Chain A
Amino acid sequence: MKHRNLLFAALGDLIRHPAGSLAVLGCLLTVTLMYLISMGISEGVRFQADMSLDEGADIYVSSDQCGLSGPILIEEMLRRVSDFDGVRGVARVVGRTYFAERLVAVVGLDSQGLQAFRDGHRGHVPGATVPRDSHWGKFHPPRALIGVKIGATVPAFPALKGPATVSRPTGTPPLPSPVGATENSRMLQHREPWAEDRAVRQVVTSTPSPRAPLIEGRERQTLSSGGRGKGDGAGEHVPGPMDSKVGDRRGEVFLGRALADEFGVKPGMPFTLAANKRKLFKAAGTLSPSCLWSSHVLVMHLDDANDFFRTPGQANHALVYRSRSNAGDDSAGLIQTLKADGFRVSDRGENRERLRRSFSVSGGLHSVLLVIGVALAFPTIVVTCGLGMAEQRREIGVLRATGWRTRDVIEKAALGNLVISLAAASVAVLLAELWMRGFNGRLIAQFFVSEVGIVPSVDIPFRLLPSHALGCMGLALVLTETGGIISAWVHARTLPRQSMS
């Protein structure tokens, strides 16, 4: 009962001095809100970065070019990776260019990657789902590595060498017939071995997966009987299972939402880029703004990216995916071989460790900023508390004269500060959530995430954890209790007659 009465006495003090209470609350909010927003954005970015690592490739391979990551020759990498079991590789082109006056990232993907925008499938290694001795664990060159569309007839690509003439080794067991093979037998009889493998793999990996409406714009389209358009050198073309999807054709590009909004690009609108005006693109759709790195990006076909950057036969990376079952996974041998041959290889473990250290560094920077904030906040709090110093001294004198002990006075002051700290922390969390989720971090996000602008057109990553709220609460408590308890203790030890005078 005594503590309850002290709490209510402290609340009464806060109510009787609304200006002082609100001033302290405002000071605390100023410090804690910035702290919460920076930590929340940091945690949000880390969450998305972790997802990028988890859902990305297991191994990234590039060449070493005078200390920098250089391009790889696709066919050479094809030969190297195909010697190992339990791994599958695809090529990817990443670069930068200007879209009007905006700098954008350009990503060139194979057909499966483009299709994965709709399905969420990517990175499945056949060896993970079928017996190893079926030889599906071997890397079969995906279409992207050799520039052949699935379902295309070989004579349509007379210029291709090597991979186009690869056949299954003699003595290997026949591939099992995929579901629907009867209906598609006309198509399958002209395909390369890995085209069959892809068709079967589609069946094998057709387990339910989260289908997210990542792309807005045109939906699935069926090619007309004419097949691919003019000018791509395709010639005769038999529609394959991957061909009837939007964005799977040459010249079609998915745009980040920020670009589409800024320049009013609609699906189906043709455009060229200054770096290579001969190359005509057509917007196939816009990407959802949910991911930070999808806002200023152009996703196109690998061949288009190679044409655009004038790097035929090259890719920035070989993305290597391991078998999920670890059975027959020879990725360690692959890494060793590639490193010995001078390639730059980074696996997921290395990248995760580097990411962890990098965000620890930024966490350290936040701590430094927090210390500076606290140092600036101390005088503010002291001044604020000192505004009612004379009145507080007289009140404590009265309390002491009516029989209150020193520790009661200190407890009352501590409870009042506890209430105000709880209020500050709670309101700061609510304001941070409102600002970041309700207003998507307008005005403030650009200070923590570069190149998103004053009004971000991408969802700003934000995630608050209990540790952030506890840190915020601790900060508020330290700030208030330090000034409040010391002054209460000093006044409580003064004679009541002197205090009331």
Chain B
Amino acid sequence: MDRRCWTLLSLLAIAMLGAGTGITRDACAPHGVQVNEMRTFQRAVGGLGLGAIAVPMWQFLNYDFRIQPVDDSVSWPVPGGYSYGPDRTATVSYFQEVAGNEWVVVKP
């Protein structure tokens, strides 16, 4: 039994070591050809893309809010006021329509 326990512990240690290596590689500042390619692409196009979507299907908001900061695909009135654009759901990013400093209240 002792031997099998040691074997199990060794397998566990190997799995933990592998996981630790993968996480360390990811967590440390990534470098290499891929990152250089990303950087080159972004420099060249002046920054394109921010959200988790490969192509702006319905609107640019979830693709890159710098291009279009509002959801221009909403057809009002929508029950609940929610956009039906598939770009707005089921991704790991969600950009709200933020007015930012559009409204400036000036006290008399």
Q: Which residues of A contact B (CB under 8 A)?
A: 8, 11-12, 14-15, 38, 40-42, 45-49, 51-57, 60, 67-69, 90, 92, 94, 96, 102-105, 107, 109, 113-114, 116-117, 119-123, 210-214, 258, 287-288, 290-297, 299, 316-317, 319, 344, 346, 350-351, 354-355, 357-359, 361-362, 365-366, 419, 422-423, 425-427, 429-430, 433, 447-452, 458-459, 461-466, 468-469
Contact call B66/A346, Cβ cutoff below 8 A: yes
B68 in the interface (beta carbon within 8 A)? yes
Contacts of B68 in A (CB 8 A): 68-69
A64 to chain B, nearest CB (A): 9
9 example contacts (A-B, Cβ-Cβ < 8 A) are as follows A48-B49, A51-B38, A56-B47, A92-B45, A109-B44, A210-B40, A212-B33, A290-B35, A465-B26
Contact call B47/A53, Cβ cutoff below 8 A: yes
Contact partner of B54 among A42, A49, A117, A449, CB < 8 A?
A: A449
Contact call A68/B46, Cβ cutoff below 8 A: no
B96 in the interface (beta carbon within 8 A)? yes
Q: Contacts A49-B49, A52-B49, A113-B46 given: A295-B54 contact, CB under 8 Å?
A: yes
Contacts of B65 in A (CB 8 A): 351, 354, 358
Q: Contacts A122-B44, A464-B23 given: A291-B49 contact, CB under 8 Å?
A: yes
Q: Contacts A419-B12, A452-B54 given: A120-B40 contact, CB under 8 Å?
A: yes
B73 to chain A, nearest CB (A): 11
The distance in angstroms between the C-alpha atoms of A293 and B53, with both chains bound, is 8
Q: Contacts A11-B9, A121-B43, A361-B96 given: A465-B36 contact, CB under 8 Å?
A: no
The distance in angstroms between the C-alpha atoms of A449 and B57, with both chains bound, is 12
Most buried by A among B22, B38, B51, B70: B38
Contact call B93/A429, Cβ cutoff below 8 A: no
The distance in angstroms between the C-alpha atoms of A449 and B65, with both chains bound, is 17
Contact call A51/B94, Cβ cutoff below 8 A: no
The count of residues in chain B whose C-beta lies closer than 8 Å to any C-beta of chain A is 62
Contacts of B67 in A (CB 8 A): 69, 94, 316-317
Contact call A212/B90, Cβ cutoff below 8 A: no
Q: Contacts A12-B5, A69-B67, A291-B38 given: A42-B22 contact, CB under 8 Å?
A: no
Contact call A105/B39, Cβ cutoff below 8 A: no
Contact call B50/A96, Cβ cutoff below 8 A: no
Per the 8 Å Cβ criterion, residues 13-35 of B in contact with A are: 15-16, 18-19, 22-23, 26-27, 30, 33-35
Q: Who on chain B is nearest to A12 by CB? A: B1
The distance in angstroms between the C-alpha atoms of A429 and B45, with both chains bound, is 34
B75 in the interface (beta carbon within 8 A)? no
Contact call B40/A116, Cβ cutoff below 8 A: yes
